[in-house]
Amino acid sequence: MNKKAVVLVNLGTPEAPTTVKVREYLETFLSDRRVIKMPPALWQPILQTMILPHRPQKSAKLYQQIWTKDGSPLLLYAKTQQKLLQKRLPNYRVEIAMSYSHPRISETMDKLLQDGIDDITVLPLYPQYSGTTVGSIFDEVSDYFRGTDKIVDLHFIHSFYQEPAYIDYYAQKIRQRLQETPVDALLFSYHGLPKSYATDGDPYPQECRETTELIMQRVGNVKYFQTFQSKFGPGEWLKPATDTTLKGLPHRGYKKIMVIAPSFVADCLETLQELEIENKGYFMTHGGEQFIYLPPFNGDPQFADLLAELVAKKS
Amino acid sequence: MNKKAVVLVNLGTPEAPTTVKVREYLETFLSDRRVIKMPPALWQPILQTMILPHRPQKSAKLYQQIWTKDGSPLLLYAKTQQKLLQKRLPNYRVEIAMSYSHPRISETMDKLLQDGIDDITVLPLYPQYSGTTVGSIFDEVSDYFRGTDKIVDLHFIHSFYQEPAYIDYYAQKIRQRLQETPVDALLFSYHGLPKSYATDGDPYPQECRETTELIMQRVGNVKYFQTFQSKFGPGEWLKPATDTTLKGLPHRGYKKIMVIAPSFVADCLETLQELEIENKGYFMTHGGEQFIYLPPFNGDPQFADLLAELVAKKS
């Protein structure tokens, strides 16, 4: 009989909000050639001499603002979703894996193969495809199996930005929240990407646009903006930027806003710290009156329903 | 809406049974590092100076014995199965690809992506998994997508050696043929593999053994042997060898035999020439009286049923 597994893959997280652990995590993350496309001979000296000596300390302080008593929110939510999905898929073994922290993709694969699993569905926890995230997971999974004698049936899911269950979830949450607290506008903030990656063919910005449009078709007639956040490094990134936009909105008359981050399936540094603390600060100090942050799925059982549906359709 | 495709992948074939075309084909095939694991620095001089100057001419003569007026049997059967499977899967686009001849895997992928396909099931036409065949296809498919911005949902099927529809097909054909013409023994001849590949972990010999046993459980109480054919090069290959076994069987009292080649889904040089001409010759000149060759699926619509079932279960 087939022994099947689903592996939920997300980015990863430092093991602790300390300079040492954040440095370890950032070095792994920023050495991925899908993430930083500069040739390593150019990039590694910059990373080692200009970034790793300073950024981990700064970053660790930000992680401390969002850390829970049980650890990193991203990992906690991944584990909750794993348990919830496991209940919905009794014929599958459900595991998690992280691109840049433990359990690494190779560690999870080792475990599954040792247990005789012969059918693996890899489900990256990114609704929109980007080479920097989903593509990088594909490379790591295929690296794992290339040249080995232990290949299994493999299913690789590349995105779910337009899945009705995903769109409906957001549309419903937004409508519900708007009934409780009307706002002047919605702001969809997606994780950003260097502009050149998109010019070179990464379909990410288009998938983000389609997600926003599909959600808004169901939300109805409300003013909305779409922006990109989390710019890193000196190059040009996708625009408009979340921070610049938020600083300008109050002056344009949008003083009460609701912020949605549909490219994240769980809260993490980029939402809890960057959106809810940093960007909320920009907005409020520039004349904003109300900043409502609508969290992503996190531990919501409805997300496990969505994942179960995806697996049923695509594995 | 999803636009889905199934790609049936087989080994390939020379474009024509001529020395030039066979040389071209053999050079591609024998340069695959999954097929010949020797380091290229050692292997390429051997290939270029000892094999390619002589073998293509010899091999072309063998291909001439099996060539049809419409071309290579392997390719013709692949095209027939493509058409039959297409009728059974109206929601998929069905294509073929060859590891070492046209349409190459990359050519077929290019075509599918250009047409906006975003869900591809790769179905290697090898019932038993081996790194040299299915593994090599996996490497080529993952090479195609590694580092690109054009990833799709991918499903990779690694074997079907134990699929009930596959086993039942052979069991039924063998029983039927035995009723018409009883024989002294059955001989299951599988394509061989260097013994070291199996020692290093290739599960191929075990999957062959399981296929034979599952078929024989349904065929019932008939004497049978299992062998490996198509040895190439000086090293030790899996044993017992088909040719040695066939030469010895008449003296052991097995003068009427039926030969089955379950590792091939369609007739090709290894079955039509090596089994039906060369090995039949060995058997008959060593005292054999009747040599019945039971062909693989070829253009049988039942194979398309089996493939459709596999796709439904595994994509």
Distance (Å) from the C-alpha of residue A160 to the closest C-alpha of chain B? 10
A146 and A11: one domain? yes
B285 and B239: one domain? yes
Asked if this assembly's ipTM is beyond 0.85, the reply is yes
* Residue-wise pLDDT tens digits, B163-206: 999 999 999 999 999 999 999 999 999 999 999 999 999 999 99
Contact yes or no for A131 and B153 at CB 8 A? no
A68 and A211: one domain? no
Residue A315 has pLDDT above 80, yes or no: no
Q: What is the mean pLDDT of residues A135-142?
A: 96
Which DSSP string corresponds to chain B?
Answer: ---EEEEEEE----SSSSHHHHHHHHHHHTT-TTT--S-HHHHHHHIIIIITTTHHHHHHHHHHHH-BTTB-HHHHHHHHHHHHHHHH-TTEEEEEEESSSSSBHHHHHHHHHHTT--EEEEEES-SS--IIIIIHHHHHHHHHHTT-S---EEEE----TT-HHHHHHHHHHHHHHHHHS--SEEEEEEE--BHHHHHTT--HHHHHHHHHHHHHHHH-S--EEEEEE---SSS-BSSSBHHHHHHHTGGGT--EEEEE-TT-SS--IIIIIIIIIIIHHHHHHTT--EEEEE--STT-HHHHHHHHHHHHHH-
Please tell me whether B54 is known to bind a ligand: no
Q: What is the mean pLDDT of residues A160-185?
A: 97
pLDDT for the residue numbered A209: 98
Contact yes or no for B147 and A135 at CB 8 A? yes
Residue from A114, A136, A146, A149 whose CB has the most chain B CBs within 10 Å, to mutate: A149
Residue from B123, B137, B142, B152 whose CB has the most chain A CBs within 10 Å, to mutate: B142
Q: Which of residues 236-275 of A touch B (CB under 8 A)?
A: none
Contact yes or no for A158 and B158 at CB 8 A? no
Cross-chain CB nearest to B151 (options A138, A147, A150): A138
* Residue-wise pLDDT tens digits, A14-57: 999 999 999 999 999 999 999 999 999 999 999 999 999 999 99
Name the closest residue on chain A to residue B311, using Cα atoms. Answer: A315
Mean pLDDT of chain A: 96
Contact yes or no for B149 and A157 at CB 8 A? no
Contact yes or no for B147 and A34 at CB 8 A? yes
* Residue-wise pLDDT tens digits, B277-294: 999 999 999 999 999 999
Contacts of A131 in chain B (CB under 8 A): 147-149, 151
Q: If 0-12 CB within 10 Å is exposed, 13-18 middle and 19+ buried, where does residue B7 land? A: buried
| Percentage of residues of chain B with pLDDT beyond 70 | 99
* Residue-wise pLDDT tens digits, A232-286: 888 999 999 999 999 999 999 999 999 999 999 999 999 999 999 999 999 999 9
Size of interface A-B (CB pairs under 8 A): 90
Mean pLDDT of chain B: 96
* Residue-wise pLDDT tens digits, A88-122: 999 999 999 999 999 999 999 999 999 999 999 99
pLDDT for the residue numbered A99: 96
Name the closest residue on chain B to residue A310, using Cα atoms. Answer: B153
Contacts of B150 in chain A (CB under 8 A): 201, 203
B141 and B69: one domain? yes
Q: Which of residues 126-165 of A touch B (CB under 8 A)?
A: 129, 131, 134-135, 138-139, 142, 145-158
| Backbone φ/ψ region at A149: left (φ over 0), alpha (ψ -120 to 50), beta | alpha
pLDDT for the residue numbered A118: 92
B136 and B149: one domain? yes
The first and second tokens of residue A263, run together, are 């490219």
Query: With bands split at pLDDT 50, 70 and 90, how would you rate the model's confidence at A150?
Result: confident
A288 and A307: one domain? no
CATH code, domain with A76: 3.40.50.1400
B60 and B190: one domain? no
* Residue-wise pLDDT tens digits, A64-90: 999 999 999 999 999 999 999 999 999
A144 and A41: one domain? yes
Query: With bands split at pLDDT 50, 70 and 90, how would you rate the model's confidence at B152?
Result: very high
pLDDT for the residue numbered B148: 87
Cross-chain CB nearest to B155 (options A131, A148, A155): A155
pLDDT for the residue numbered A2: 58
Please tell me whether A251 is known to bind a ligand: no
Residue A116 touches partner B, C-beta closer than 8 Å:
no
B37 and B169: one domain? no
CB A181 within 8 A of CB A221: no
Residue B314 touches partner A, C-beta closer than 8 Å:
yes
Read off the DSSP letter of residue A89.
-
pLDDT for the residue numbered A80: 97
Distance (Å) from the C-alpha of residue A151 to the closest C-alpha of chain B? 7
What residue ranges in chain A does DSSP mark as E strands? Answer: 4-10, 92-98, 119-124, 153-156, 185-191, 224-229, 256-260, 290-294
Contacts of A197 in chain B (CB under 8 A): 149
B270 and B226: one domain? yes
pLDDT for the residue numbered B234: 82
A212 and A305: one domain? no
B266 and B307: one domain? no
Distance (Å) from the C-alpha of residue B297 to the closest C-alpha of chain A? 23
Cross-chain CB nearest to B145 (options A138, A155, A203): A138
Residue A138 has pLDDT above 70, yes or no: yes
pLDDT for the residue numbered A234: 82
Cross-chain CB nearest to A142 (options B146, B153, B158): B146
Provide the number of structural domains found in chain A.
2
For residues A265 and A126, what is the distance between their CA atoms, to the nearest angstrom?
A: 7
Residue B297 has pLDDT above 90, yes or no: yes
A208: containing domain: 164-294
